[in-house]
Structure 1
Amino acid sequence: MKHRLSFLAAGLCLALGATHASAQTRVTYKSAKTGSSYYQMGVEIAEAVKTASEGKIIVTIEESQGSVQNVAESATRGGNYVFTTPPALVGNAQAASGPFKDKANPKFNNIRALFPIPSLTMHFVVREDSGVKAFSDLAGKNLLIGKGSFGASEGAKYLELFGLKDKVSLSNAELNNAVAALKNKQIDGFVTAGSYPAPNVIEAAAGSSVTLLSLSEEQIKATSRTRLVIPAGTYSGQKTDVVTTSLPVVAYATTDMSDDTAYALTKAFWSQRDRMAASAPWWKGVNGDMLANIEGKIHPGALRYYTEAKMAVGDQQR
């Protein structure tokens, strides 16, 4: 009899364990390379979702080689696959253009947005003693823009757009050398793109007097990028707002994800945004206005949350 009771107890424990496991939703979140700010954001989102859902939703972070890979894998991954990318790349995939030319897949049309995350923000940082106050002052100066990154390609594009292509000397060095080179006066400034406040800009501003260049409204229009304001006081010594450009980044899923899961993820993100911002300042720049940057459709589950929260969503996003 004792043995029978023991077996029954063991069976009950197994059943309870199975019930607990089945009640847990597992989500894969694919963002960026390990060590990058966007990978760290994924870790923060995973912790926020676990807290908000009381452990009912577990998010596993997966390293990525970039946004193109993230979008491409959406056609083959399971329903609870979440990935980050600039909205324009989703449009490319759905139109079989850009990096997705000759790679058409009808499943790309099932991609749906969940919520915005910090944008890639352009920073033009110069030494205060360089005398540079505006882009026109960069003529004859030495600038480091890095290699192979979004910031490097954007920096080169802006120099050409603003008539500075052959007037600025570009330093042949990696971006991770920028702060040291600036402090040693080997360069007059550097260009970097990342969520603000950017760690390398924080380091540069803390160690010496720097100026962040603002773009005029005409210059912003010429770049075809999204206008963004870095508030005064974001960096040491920054006394005024800095007007610059950005590339929006959004967390996406597909229609394979259930409406309930998409709703829970979206609600968890926004309910924990302030808490995340308290420990990681880059979340302070994320707000409901950024929903306007989403191109294409928003997941029905996320739409349910935005309706409840009375957050504005465009008709074309429904």
Structure 2
Amino acid sequence: MKFFKTTAALLALSALSATAAGAETRITYKSAKTGSSYYQMGVELAEAMKTGTDGEVIVTVEESQGSVQNVMEVRARGGDYVFTTPPALVGLAQGGKAMFEGKGDAQFDEIRALFPIPSLTMHFVMSQSSGASDLAGMEGKTILLGNGSFGATEGEKYLELFGLTDKVEIADAELSNAVAALKNGQIDGFVTAGSWPAPNVIEAAASTPVTILSLSEDQIAQSNRTALTIPAGTYAGQEADITTTSLPVVAYATTQMDDDTAYALTKTFWESKAKLGDTSPWWNGVDEALMANIDGKIHPGAVRYYEEAGIALDAAQQ
């Protein structure tokens, strides 16, 4: 009889363990290259999810080679996949356009948004000694763009768009050398894109007097990018708001993710955002206004949270 009681107890313990294990939800979060600010954001989000759900949601951060790869992997992933990308890329994938031409897949139509994360924000950083106070003031100056990054590609686009391509000298150096080169007078300025406040811009402003250029309304309109304001006081010596352009970035899942998981991820993100901002100020750039940058549908589980929180969604998002 004792044997049967012991066996029953072990079976009960085993069932309890299985239930506990089953309550734990595991998510793969794919964002960017290791060492980038967006990979670090993923690490911070993973910790926030674990803490905010008392360990019920465990997020594993996976290195990515970029946003296009993140979208493409939707074809082979399941309901535990969360990834980040600009909303524009989701639209291109669903339409089979540009880099997705000939690579269409029905799974692209199942992509659903969860919440916005810090936008890729353009920074045009000039030494005060250069005298530049707007984009036109870059004429005759030496500018570092770097290679291969969104900021470099976007910087080249702006130089061409505003007639500066043949009027500036492009420094042959990596963006990682920008702060030292600016401080030593080897360059007059550099162009970079990242979440704000950007670490390399913080370093530059702290080490030498700089002017971070604002774009006019007309220039922002011509860029076909989203306007963004960097508040005064974000960087050392910055006394006024900076108006610039940005590329929104959003965390996505697919309809394969169950509604309760999408709800938990979205709710935990917004409820943890203030604490995230205390750790890394780039999270302070995320607010409800960024919801307007989400083109297309939001996951039904996330919609449930937004309705509870009183956050308005447009018809296309629901």
**TM-score, scaled relative to structure 1:** 0.98
Partner of 1:57: 57
**Conserved 8 A contact 1:296-1:317:** yes
Partner of 1:147: 147
Rounded Cα–Cα distance in structure 1 between residues aligned with 2:237 and 2:160 = 29
Number of residues paired by the alignment? 318
Rounded Cα–Cα distance in structure 2 between residues aligned with 1:60 and 1:10 = 32
Rounded Cα–Cα distance in structure 2 between residues aligned with 1:273 and 1:94 = 30
Partner of 1:39: 39
**Conserved 8 A contact 1:262-1:301:** yes
Query: What amino acid is the match of 2:62?
Result: E
Q: CA deviation at 1:162?
A: 0.9
Q: CA deviation at 1:107?
A: 1.1
CA deviation map 1:27-65 (0-9, x unaligned): 111101111111111111111111221111111111111
Q: What SS does the corresponding residue of 2:59 show, helix, strand or coil?
A: strand
Rounded Cα–Cα distance in structure 2 between residues aligned with 1:3 and 1:214 = 78
Query: What amino acid is the match of 2:81?
Result: Y
Query: What amino acid is the match of 1:152?
Result: A
Partner of 2:270: 270
Q: Which region of structure 1 is more displaced relative to structure 2, 219-228 or 72-81?
A: 72-81
- Give structure 2 stretches of 5+ with no counterpart: none
Partner of 2:76: 76
Q: What SS does the corresponding residue of 1:74 show, helix, strand or coil?
A: helix
Q: CA deviation at 1:232?
A: 0.5
Rounded Cα–Cα distance in structure 1 between residues aligned with 2:253 and 2:49 = 15
Partner of 1:165: 165
Partner of 2:19: 19
Structure-to-structure mapping, 1:1-318, within 5 angstroms: 6-318=6-318
Q: CA deviation at 1:16?
A: 2.0
Q: CA deviation at 1:14?
A: 2.5
Q: CA deviation at 1:80?
A: 1.5
Q: What SS does the corresponding residue of 1:75 show, helix, strand or coil?
A: helix
Q: What SS does the corresponding residue of 2:76 show, helix, strand or coil?
A: coil
Rounded Cα–Cα distance in structure 1 between residues aligned with 2:199 and 2:11 = 53
Rounded Cα–Cα distance in structure 1 between residues aligned with 2:141 and 2:6 = 80
Rounded Cα–Cα distance in structure 2 between residues aligned with 1:305 and 1:5 = 46
**Conserved 8 A contact 1:288-1:312:** no
CA deviation map 1:217-249 (0-9, x unaligned): 000000000000000011111111000000000
CA deviation map 1:179-204 (0-9, x unaligned): 11001100000000000011100110
**Conserved 8 A contact 1:26-1:57:** yes
Rounded Cα–Cα distance in structure 2 between residues aligned with 1:17 and 1:236 = 53
Q: CA deviation at 1:271?
A: 0.5
Q: Percent identity?
A: 64
CA deviation map 1:241-268 (0-9, x unaligned): 0000000000000000111111111000
Q: CA deviation at 1:9?
A: 4.1
**TM-score, scaled relative to structure 2:** 0.98
Q: CA deviation at 1:211?
A: 0.7
Q: What SS does the corresponding residue of 1:284 show, helix, strand or coil?
A: helix
Rounded Cα–Cα distance in structure 1 between residues aligned with 2:275 and 2:180 = 33
Rounded Cα–Cα distance in structure 2 between residues aligned with 1:93 and 1:8 = 54
Rounded Cα–Cα distance in structure 1 between residues aligned with 2:42 and 2:158 = 30
Query: What amino acid is the match of 1:36?
Result: S
CA deviation map 1:90-137 (0-9, x unaligned): 011001111101101111000000000000000000111111111111
